[in-house]
Copies of this chain bind each other. A is one copy, B any other.
Amino acid sequence: MEKYLSINEFSKFSDIEKSTLRYWDEIGLFSPVKRDPENNYRYYSPDQLIMVNFIKVLSSLNVPLKTIGDAQGIRNPEKIIRLIDQQEKKLDMEMQRLRECYSIIHTRKELINYGIKVMDGYRAVDGVRMDSNVRDGELVDLNKVAVLYREDSPFILGPRNHFKENESFHIPFMNFCKHADELRINLSFPVGGYHENIESFLNKPSEPDNFISMDPTGNRKREAGYYLIAFNLGYYGKFGDLPKRLMAYAEENNLKLKGPVFTIYLHDEICLTDPSRYLVQICVGVEKLPKKRSIN
């Protein structure tokens, strides 16, 4: 009359490993309704599929088996509701966490991909690869300086930096890391440098007035508009002739620069072993559009 399932059948129907079922039995979390008195075989009833599937969901949510077991001993509806309510809240938090992780690695990816295009000397605008016959756009290339349109870009501004004579940027950077938590800065987002204006940058390129976090949910924005863009290879704070090239281009094209200067590392230690190949992008607003020039 009664139908029982062997551990193999029960494992298949529930999609739970036999070794897991044996372990759950061993720790007293979930046991078969019957054991063969002769050979000690485990026999499960089909009813048990309901319960084991519920346990499977909870354990897949990383609820400790002890917690599941506690809720299971003497069961009542109120107890189960409390357990589910807790798990719903945890699930909400976990999904929030995963969304942030996604945002972190995605932001990182976009920077790296843009860096790859720069290194390849592709014609690109805002990370969109353009074919060489595209007219509307300008060369984005390691050795070129150019004016490009940029969408707005959120960030979080860190505390004001204070550099002492002959001190490396590490001290202010550590200070930034130290206070990151209070400022709701997640240090896993890419970090950039921020000079208040072009004069500050030209004066001490390797001493940004602040550090910024490239958090897409940031409370500040680099506004959409036209920016003077240039790149350089080298370790943090090593800009070589970049300031000279930047200003030469601005003068030649009669550009007035305005607003803060952003220094963003597209390639850093996360994707490169050799520090001398780190790739930085400088980005500063232009007051008016330059006259249309023909590219040749």
Interface residues of A (CB under 8 A from B): 1-3, 5, 12-15, 45-47, 49-51, 53-54, 56-57, 60-61, 74-81, 84-85, 87-88, 91, 94-95, 97-99, 101-102, 104-106, 108-109, 112-113, 115-116, 119, 166, 168, 170-171, 173-174, 177-178, 180-181, 187-188, 191, 236, 267-273
Contact = CB atoms under 8 A, between A and B. Distances in A.
A270 B1 contact: no
Given A61-B101, A77-B116, A91-B102, 13 more contacts: A3-B171, A13-B177, A14-B177, A46-B174, A46-B177, A47-B236, A49-B177, A75-B273, A77-B267, A77-B272, A81-B112, A91-B101, A95-B98
Given A77-B116, A80-B271, A54 B91 contact: no
A174 B77 contact: no
Per DSSP, are chain A's interface residues mostly helix, strand or loop, or mixed? helix
B98 A98 contact: yes
Contacts of A99: 95
B271 A75 contact: yes
Contacts of A13: 174, 177-178, 180, 187
Contacts of A236: 47
B108 A181 contact: no
Contacts of A106: 84, 88
A270 B87 contact: no
A47 B170 contact: yes
A136 to B, nearest CB: 27
Contacts of A181: 15
Contacts of A45: 170
Interface centre among A116, A177, A272 (most CB of B within 10 A): A177
A271 B49 contact: no
Contacts of A116: 77-78, 81
Contacts of A88: 102, 105-106, 109
Contacts of A271: 75-77, 79-81
A76 B277 CA distance: 11
A7 to B, nearest CB: 15
B273 A46 contact: no
